[in-house]
């Protein structure tokens, strides 16, 4: 029993180390994604990452100190986190990044009509030109049948072959085509890891609780 308990103890510590790394990665994702998603969604991701990190540190301390009370508190926190992840999977809006990126293209294209250069960053990032195609610029009078340099590879439009033919809306659609699948893998991965850690924590908490009772006798 002692060997099994030791194995579970160190397995729980290892899982929590991975959990802590995952929490840090979620925090980084939220930070890097700021501006690429709605502020409310970014804040939610940062809160989730911070919560995962704090809970993992709590679990590591409980396992190392062999504290039944700390482990039961940890189990309660994991249950709450498990419910939050399930609620997030069920309730969160689909294609949130793609929708935000598409709306950004629409907004910047509107600005482009009066403030030339508003589309430059988008066109360089997604290697696209105009809202729907390069023809969009030819329909704007002040461009005089030309396109901005951001519409061409390397910023040079001297060679017609450098021109990005596709519009930015279609390029964004293509760039985020796998968003739903990727997020689903992340969500279910989080749920599975949380469930595995929860089971280990419950077993270890029960063991240390029984051990403490024996000592009290």
Q: What is the DSSP string of 65-132?
A: HT-HHHHHHHHHHHHHHHHHHHHHHHHSPTTHHHHHHHHHHHHHHHHHTTSTTTTHHHHHHHT--SSS
User: According to the model, what pLDDT value does residue 143 have?
Assistant: 56
Q: Does 51 share its domain with 87? A: yes
Give the structural domain span for 120.
97-175
Judged against a pLDDT cut of 60, whether residue 129 lies above it is answered with: yes
- Residue 30's pLDDT is 72
- Domain shared by 20 and 89, yes or no: yes
Are 82 and 101 within one domain?
no
Confidence of residue 4 (pLDDT cuts 50, 70, 90): low
Average pLDDT for 174-198 = 82
- pLDDT category at 144 given cuts 50, 70, 90 is low
- DSSP one-letter string for 24-63: HHHHHHHHHTBTTB-HHHHHHHHHHHHHHHHHHHHHHHHH
The domain total for the chain is 2
Q: Are 113 and 140 in contact (CB under 8 A)?
A: yes
- Same structural domain, 88 and 32: yes
147 shares a domain with 113 = yes
Percentage of residues in the chain having pLDDT higher than 90: 16
The phi-psi region of residue 140 (left if phi > 0; otherwise alpha if psi is between -120 and 50; otherwise beta) is beta
Averaged pLDDT, 1-18: 66
For the chain, the straight-line distance linking the first and the last C-alpha, in angstroms and rounded, comes to: 20
The CA distances from residue 129 to 10, 122, 141, 191, in Å, are: 55, 9, 16, 40
More confident of the two residues 208 and 75? 75
State pTM to two decimals: 0.62
Coil, strand or helix at 144: coil
With bands split at pLDDT 50, 70 and 90, how would you rate the model's confidence at 42? confident
Q: What is the Cα 31 distance to its own chain's centre?
A: 10
């Amino acid at each position: 029993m002692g060997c099994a308990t030791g194995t579970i103890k160190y397995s729980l510590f290892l899982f929590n180390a991975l959990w802590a790394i995952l929490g840090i990665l979620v925090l980084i994702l939220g930070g890097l994604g700021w501006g690429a998603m709605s502020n409310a969604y970014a804040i939610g991701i940062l809160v989730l990452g911070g919560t995962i990190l704090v809970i993992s540190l709590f679990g590591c301390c409980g396992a190392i100190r062999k504290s039944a009370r700390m482990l039961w508190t940890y189990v309660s926190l994991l249950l709450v986190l498990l419910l939050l992840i399930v609620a997030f999977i069920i309730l969160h809006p689909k294609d949130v990044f793609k929708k935000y990126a598409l709306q950004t293209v629409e907004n910047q294209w509107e600005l482009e009509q009066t403030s030339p250069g508003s589309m430059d960053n988008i066109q360089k990032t997604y290697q696209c030109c105009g809202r729907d195609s390069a023809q969009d610029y030819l329909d704007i009078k002040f461009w005089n049948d030309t396109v901005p340099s951001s519409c061409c590879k390397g910023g040079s439009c001297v060679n017609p072959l450098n021109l990005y033919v596709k519009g930015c809306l279609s390029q964004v659609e293509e760039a985020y085509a796998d968003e739903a699948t990727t997020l689903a893998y992340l969500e279910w991965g989080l749920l599975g890891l949380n469930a595995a850690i929860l089971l280990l924590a419950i077993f270890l908490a029960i063991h240390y609780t029984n051990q403490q009772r024996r000592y009290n006798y």
